[in-house]
């Protein structure tokens, strides 16, 4: 897509998508403390502009025949991904490193989801800033986190991908450690330590690939780039463990419940909604794409661990007594379905993973918004102290019920498609192992329904508890404005999954062709 004077508008859009939140964060740093609200409004404007620019990246996508489905001409090399738009600039010429960004059908839904959730969180902070205040700093940190996440989804240089991946660490740590709950510092340290462990493995994996292949270009590396089988297996193992920490995959998940429980509401929304997707996206784009032979040899292990995550996450949820902690553990199970789909290395499985990513971000983001609203009003998240919410706040109880049944995978809502087709993909792989995994994953789906219905029974039904009787039932306009887009998306994606699957179908087919 070019504009007047031959300017590549797609490249400008990519630069703006990453640059606007960075510029917004720098701008907020100039505001004095007395202009805190003005700073928050300014940050929200930058977040809104980022969403608009990110959404417009789809313009011109049809010119590329579905993005990844278009292959480069034979002289350039083996078939590989062709983004809708690219920005490729010399970065460190001496090391042959390039500032290479691109967007296609795999990354685009996650780019829009990231920009949307960041905007909703910034808008939410216009209404209420958690203790100890300093809302402009919190908004600035969210914008920095957005830079890292968007850059991760758009990077087409492996070293650049690593750097964007790491940008998220410090601001997320600060969000938890400063604005979190009573045990926030321990949760923040645990998040940082696990993330640093994954970062070391990711760096070693990146160096392994780039040294062996002689390039960091993800476009050229897709399909293996002629790497030996042993190198691919070593690289996939390093990369998969690094991304499993972020996803998170059992048994590397233990940082997640503490981080989610202690983080402020907006921190939990970003953590669950898009930060976890950096792991699953990296697994598809980098680990499977760059080391397909290693992925094939490790697929069974990944599938077993994914199903273990589904079952363990669901069983632990049945024993949880705290609202946000239960929702946090539910993410372990839901992301297990995403990872199961990836492990099948099939078109159905990868499609299930990609729509599951988006659905989980929308639904769990809504759940954490609602959980925060309940805790802010009742001043507790203990399930034993909650109950009868529909008697005191029927609209809040109704929205919580809607989000819960969407999360359990009710047909017609967004959560159904990813989980159902992940099980179908495992069944289609055939053989005793994958058939067994499909059956166990289906049992995990039943357990998911059990713990979410238990949650609703404990929180919304029965006589109103003293904590619930005293809460304010009225929903603020800012809350409804933040929740309404997520409610709408849950319905739209459930009724029209082709909005995501239609975008990802061609890229997934081309990826599978490239890694055969």
In a domain, 315, yes or no: yes
Average pLDDT rounded to a whole number, residues 481-493? 93
In a domain, 162, yes or no: yes
Q: What are phi and psi of 113, to 5 degrees?
A: -60, -45
Query: At 208, is the secondary structure helix, strand, or coil?
Result: helix
Residue span of the structural domain in which 114 resides: 10-515
Q: Yes or no: say if 227 and 235 are a contact pair by the CB < 8 Å rule.
A: yes
Report the pLDDT value the prediction gives residue 117, as an integer from 0 to 100.
94
Q: What is the pLDDT of residue 63?
A: 59
- SS3 assignment, position 250: coil
pLDDT digits (tens, 9 = 90+) for 210-256: 888 888 888 888 877 778 888 888 999 999 999 988 888 888 888 88
SS (H, E, C) 30-92: CCCHHHHHHHHHHHHHHHHHHHHHHHHHHCCHHHHCCCCCCCCCHHHCCCCCCCCEEEEEEEE
* pLDDT higher than threshold 70 for residue 418: yes
Write out the H or E segment, with its range, that includes residue 125.
helix 108-127
DSSP state of 70: S
115 in Cβ contact with 51 (< 8 Å): yes
Q: What is the pLDDT of residue 491?
A: 94
The HSE-up count of residue 487 (CA atoms within 13 Å, CB side) is 14
94 within domain boundaries: yes
Q: Which residues of 411-442 are buried (b: 16+ CB within 10 A; e: fewer)?
A: eebbbbbbbbbbbbbbbbbeeeebeebbebbb
Distance CA 372, CA 388 (A): 17
Residue with tokens 């030996």: 228
pLDDT > 90: percent of the chain = 37
Q: How far is CA 51 from CA 14, 57, 109, in A?
A: 12, 10, 12
Q: Which of 248-257, 300-309, 366-375, 489-498 has the lowest mean pLDDT?
A: 248-257
1 within a domain of the structure (yes/no): no
What does pLDDT average to over the chain? 86
Look at residues 272, 423, 256 and name the one whose alpha carbon lies nearest to residue 360: 272
Distance CA(347)–CA(93), nearest Å, equals 38
- Residue 134 structure tokens: 């300093």
Q: Establish if 3 belongs to a structural domain.
A: no
Mean pLDDT, residues 96-112: 88
The pLDDT confidence band at residue 323, using thresholds 50, 70 and 90, is confident
Q: Would the CA dihedral through 349, 286, 77, 102 be positive or negative?
A: positive
Q: Do residues 310 and 440 touch, judged by C-beta distance below 8 A?
A: yes
Query: For position 76, what pLDDT does the model report?
Result: 42
CA dist 338 → 44, 67, 354 (Å): 31, 22, 8
Q: What is the DSSP string of 149-198?
A: HHHHHHB-BHHHHHHHHHHTHHHHHHHHHHHS-TTHHHHHHHHHHHHHHH
Would 4 be classed as within a structural domain?
Answer: no
Tell me which residue has tokens 């972020």: 246
How would you classify the pairing of strands 85-92 and 97-103? antiparallel
pLDDT, residue 374, reads: 87
Q: How confident is the model at residue 71 (pLDDT cuts 50, 70, 90)?
A: very low
* C-alpha to C-alpha distance for 344 and 162, rounded to whole angstroms: 26
Let me know if residue 466 belongs to a domain. yes
Mean predicted confidence (pLDDT) in 371-392: 83
pLDDT, position 64: 54
* Average pLDDT over every residue of 316-327: 88
Q: Is residue 5 part of a domain?
A: no
d(CA 359, CA 415): 6
pLDDT score of 373: 87
**How large is the average pLDDT for residues 310-334?**
89
Closest CA to 327 of 374, 378, 396: 374
Q: Is 461 helix (H, G, I), strand (E, B) or coil?
A: coil
Nearest CA to 247 among 217, 210, 222, 284? 284
Question: Is the predicted pLDDT of residue 319 greater than 50, yes or no?
Answer: yes
Average pLDDT over residues 140-165: 93
| Residue-level pLDDT at 26 | 94
Q: Tell whether the model's pLDDT for residue 38 goes beyond 80.
A: yes
- pLDDT tier, 66 (very low <50, low <70, confident <90, very high otherwise): very low
Contacts of 279 (CB under 8 A, 6+ apart): 243, 244, 245, 246, 247, 248, 249
Sorted by sequence, the CB contacts under 8 Å of residue 372 that are 6+ apart come out as 264, 265, 268, 324
Spatial separation of the C-alpha atoms in residues 475 and 47, rounded to whole Å: 24
Residue 69's pLDDT band (boundaries 50, 70, 90)?
very low
- Using one digit for the tens of pLDDT, what is the confidence trace for 261-286? 888 989 999 988 888 899 999 999 98
Q: How many domains does the chain have?
A: 1
Q: What percent of the chain has pLDDT over 70?
A: 94
- pLDDT value at 455 more than 70: yes
Cβ burial of 370 (10 Å; 0-12, 13-18, 19+) is: buried
User: Per-residue pLDDT for 9 more than 90?
Assistant: no
- For 388: left if phi > 0, alpha if psi spans -120 to 50, otherwise beta; the answer is left
What span, in angstroms and rounded, lies between the C-alpha atoms of 154 and 217? Answer: 13
């Amino acid at each position: 897509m070019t504009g007047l004077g031959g300017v590549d508008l797609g490249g400008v859009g990519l630069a703006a998508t990453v640059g606007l939140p960075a510029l917004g964060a720098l701008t907020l740093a100039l505001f004095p403390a007395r202009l805190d609200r003005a700073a928050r409004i300014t940050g929200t404007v930058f977040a809104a502009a980022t969403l608009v620019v990110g959404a417009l990246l789809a313009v011109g996508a049809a010119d590329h025949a579905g993005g990844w489905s278009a292959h480069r001409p034979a002289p350039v090399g083996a078939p590989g991904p062709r983004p809708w738009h690219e920005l490729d600039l010399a970065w460190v010429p001496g090391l042959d490193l390039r500032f290479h960004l691109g967007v296609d059908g795999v990354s685009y839904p996650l780019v829009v989801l990231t920009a949307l959730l960041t905007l909703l969180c910034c808008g939410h902070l216009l209404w209420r800033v958690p203790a100890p205040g300093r809302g402009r700093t919190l908004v600035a940190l969210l914008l920095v986190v957005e830079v890292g996440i968007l850059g991760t989804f758009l990077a087409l240089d492996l070293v650049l991908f690593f750097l964007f991946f790491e940008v998220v660490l410090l601001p997320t740590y600060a969000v938890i450690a400063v604005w979190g709950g009573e045990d926030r510092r321990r949760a923040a340290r645990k998040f940082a330590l696990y993330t640093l462990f994954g970062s070391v493995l990711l760096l070693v994996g990146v160096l392994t690939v780039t040294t062996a292949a002689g390039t960091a270009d993800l476009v050229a590396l897709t399909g293996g780039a002629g790497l030996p089988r042993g190198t691919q297996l070593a690289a996939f193992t390093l990369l998969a463990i690094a991304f499993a920490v972020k996803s998170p995959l059992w048994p590397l998940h233990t940082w997640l419940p503490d981080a989610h429980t202690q983080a402020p509401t907006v921190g939990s929304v970003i953590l669950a909604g898009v930060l976890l997707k950096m792991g699953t996206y990296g697994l598809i784009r980098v680990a499977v794409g760059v080391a397909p032979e290693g992925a094939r040899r490790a697929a069974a292990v990944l599938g077993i661990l994914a199903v273990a995550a589904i079952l363990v996450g669901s069983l632990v949820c049945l024993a949880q007594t705290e609202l946000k902690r239960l929702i946090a553990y539910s993410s372990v199970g839901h992301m297990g379905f995403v990872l199961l789909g990836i492990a099948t290395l099939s078109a159905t499985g990868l499609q299930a993973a990609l729509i599951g990513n988006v659905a989980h971000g929308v639904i769990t983001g809504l759940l954490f918004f609602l959980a925060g609203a309940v805790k802010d009003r009742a001043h507790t998240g203990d399930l034993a102290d909650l109950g009868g919410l529909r008697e005191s706040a029927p609209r809040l109880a109704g929205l919580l019920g809607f989000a819960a049944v969407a999360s359990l995978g009710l047909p017609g809502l967004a959560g159904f498609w990813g989980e159902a087709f992940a099980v179908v993909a495992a069944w289609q792989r055939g053989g005793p192992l994958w058939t067994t995994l499909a059956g166990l994953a289906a049992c995990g789906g039943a357990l998911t329904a059990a713990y979410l219905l238990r949650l609703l029974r404990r929180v919304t039904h029965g006589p109103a508890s003293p904590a619930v009787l005293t809460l304010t039932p009225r929903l603020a306009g800012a809350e409804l404005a933040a929740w309404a887009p997520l409610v709408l998306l849950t319905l739209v994606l459930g009724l029209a999954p082709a909005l995501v699957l239609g975008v990802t179908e061609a890229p997934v087919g081309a990826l599978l062709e490239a890694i055969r």
